[in-house]
Structure 1
Amino acid sequence: MSDMLHQIEPMIPALRRYARSLVRNRAAADDLVQDCLERAVSHWDQRRDTGSPKSWLFAILHNLAVNQFRSVSARIQHVAIDEAGEHEIGQNADQEQKLMYQDVLAKLARLPDEQRAVLLLVAVEDLSYAEAAKVLNIPVGTVMSRLSRARERLQQELERPADHQQRNVVQLRSKP
């Protein structure tokens, strides 16, 4: 038994490194190494090569990982409804977010260049009024007034229905 431990123990760090590179998760890799070591200890007398067990241990680890990949991909993940979070149950459709994003970009593009530039520098790039004034080579007061007008105009644009929504409206009934 002590001979087996002396041969296996020095290889554990290398097995852990290999397992981590395979599964890319520390906890899962440690579980995989533990399963490998358990199998190696229980089948120690069945190994063919009586020399260094290095290749034998790595083969066990690799085969366990392959079997784990196969079983995970073939198995459907079941989660109890009480334990499931919002992410497991459902998620918002990305299409709607993309359409809203495109709509905001289109409405932002309708702003006058000087208002759009100030709005982007202050609201998106998080520059201070003084920094934006320096970038645009205008007074700070001008930045503040342009920003105010840009926000107001963008708000008005966002409150109006999108162009594609107006065009895609279909009347199901004719009005009497």
Structure 2
Amino acid sequence: MEIEVPSPSQEFDALVDQHYRALFSFGHSLTGNEHTAADLVQQTFFRWAEKGSQLRDRTKAKTWLFTTLHREFLQGLRREQRLVEFDNQEELPDERRAAAIEAVEALDAEAVTSALAEIEEVFRVPLGLFYLQEFAYAEIAELLDIPVGTVMSRLSRGKDRLRQRLLARRSSVAATPLPPRKEARRG
């Protein structure tokens, strides 16, 4: 009996089908922006097309993809920081981000994602991997190249920061006065 080995293009298609949504969700949790998240996922699969054949243990493909997406995200942040330092001008308001935040606040699950995007990356990444992608502590430790204890600590601190953000949002919404009601005209 012959074992059918998938072609590289079949393997690539299978990886995309299997991991696209999870990678997009992780990218969105990092960036808070759908377009940037889609770009990160596309760049991740591009890197796989270039270098994926070098991975000897195919069971590690998921970890490789998430690690690559995270590295692409960090590389983009470094690039942005260099541009800001080089430009040395006042920051321009990011209208797209403001519009996205307004839309996100309309839904509870998306409010959490928005609050998650506001906390420091060092906490946001483990939270996204653990709660959104359902990675185990050991997998997160391997992916981020940190000890398991550090993962647990960052998750705990990250949850505290996320809770504070959500409570602050809730209290600011509750403190906002309602506009006066319009009186109905009687005719």
Normalised TM-score (structure 2): 0.41
- Larger RCO (alpha carbons 8 Å, 6+ apart): 2
Normalised TM-score (structure 1): 0.43
* The structure with more radius of gyration: 1
